[in-house]
Structure 1
């Protein structure tokens, strides 16, 4: 069975779990019936298989979470900044003052786990999370080391931090414009290998909503031919009062100016602070409908051992709620994965949405 058939079969199998026996099957059994089938995304493009510190959820168990929730594609993010090995912390916010330092160890651990236990029903994409964007001098050498050790396996880079305010108390060094200019060697390598890059770059905070926008603009202007994904659309817990209309206007402008620019809508902060509010959705839904081919879904789940299947299931449901408001084309692109397939040049194809 090819991947296209496998995906369609998985979606139809999921419908059997949720459909009422009293509802007739769609006339076209190859289409996706939004009234009967789950609205949760089949792609998790932003999933951290490794935590900041402490014990992780075992690989096989985490893949089981994906299988049970109907997720059939995921990016294997590590965590590029790790807490000290002797620290009792699993989450940096619980330990202000404890430094987080860039490391390759999670990328190697992810690669070893995938090669040893590759699932046949969930497609996982390895991602390089190690780069320290404020000190980029060795990034290219380390990329080539991973390629030498695992040829052709790493097909994504990210999530990497340009500016992440939540990490500032743990020694995070934001990149500046001079650092961004020094990315040129590894950005050229990404272009050569056609690898997308997901960047965490806070848009701003509640004191200044666009304080850090110039950094993302500098990246996009300097590297227009790189395929760049803005994690969380630039939103964060530090930015809870952004005017949705103003935010969408920024995103629209960047989409118009930079054809290789996209965004992910991972992390429940987007739903909790913005998408859940009808007055905000009236701005975001038209934007997502118009640019769905450049939008990726994701949970931003971090697989620390203090979490379980129930937590992942909840995060997937919450981050997928916006899917219910999308038009059929956008639902196919985002929830059913077509935008992800296109970005990775996969041969897979999302099913059509059944006519209402």
Structure 2
């Protein structure tokens, strides 16, 4: 195991800059998730860490060793890709151990390593099958087993669950989490799926346009997003944004919006400098509920979406659409007027000019 230091990494393809001064420190045994939309630079950064791509500037350190000029095979890393990249003519046993075979590891030592990995991943019964006889989830386990037997300093995952169906993604996500808990190997994981990021990572780097928008633990990313991009990217349904004027009322701060006023008595931010200015309130759907409260929003129901455990209700508040995550038995009808109470302690206020959290 080892720490990972990413220091001022830059990458350009001609005049196109895809990474701009990336700085990240990952502790020994940490799990870093690189999260962002397609084209944000996350896979390029992973390739630079792996040595598959050269940077235009900056340094990569694995432990105390600068690996800028070290060949990928000498970095003691193991990668798991979106495509399983298994040898179709080899049985699972040899697929897992082939890297060790190429390194001329003794056959008995190699077989013991394969057996340990297979037991860890619960695929001992598949060792004599070929990849064509396996399901997608089983193939991904084999790919992970091939990485495990190398006993690397660093695991690198490049969107490993993208080819799986929804149920298998959940199962494999749990498997990866369990694997990390048992092995404790420093891990870098690339995904565009914010659920994977929040459930797996000890640290999440949200990226956009080759720039890290926020680097923090999952709880901070979710509860205190650094800007409106992070706030809107994280969460399903996404965070609501309500624009209005921040005013000082008799009972405290108030957000004067297009359909009335929202009392901000429980607000956790120091926003005094923004009184009298336009702000944007970020409100998570689960912090809204039906009821009469000191802080509330009234609007007209636009769409109702039952999902089983929840009912998503989209409400028009003065022309601004707000989504509320309500209980499964809530069944308002389109056209109904709905009063929503708001947990103001969970509200985030943003500067609409910069998009940054105030």
TM-score by length of 2: 0.32
Task: Choose between structure 1 and 2: higher strand proportion.
Answer: 2
TM-score by length of 1: 0.32
Higher RCO (Cα < 8 Å, 6 or more apart): 1
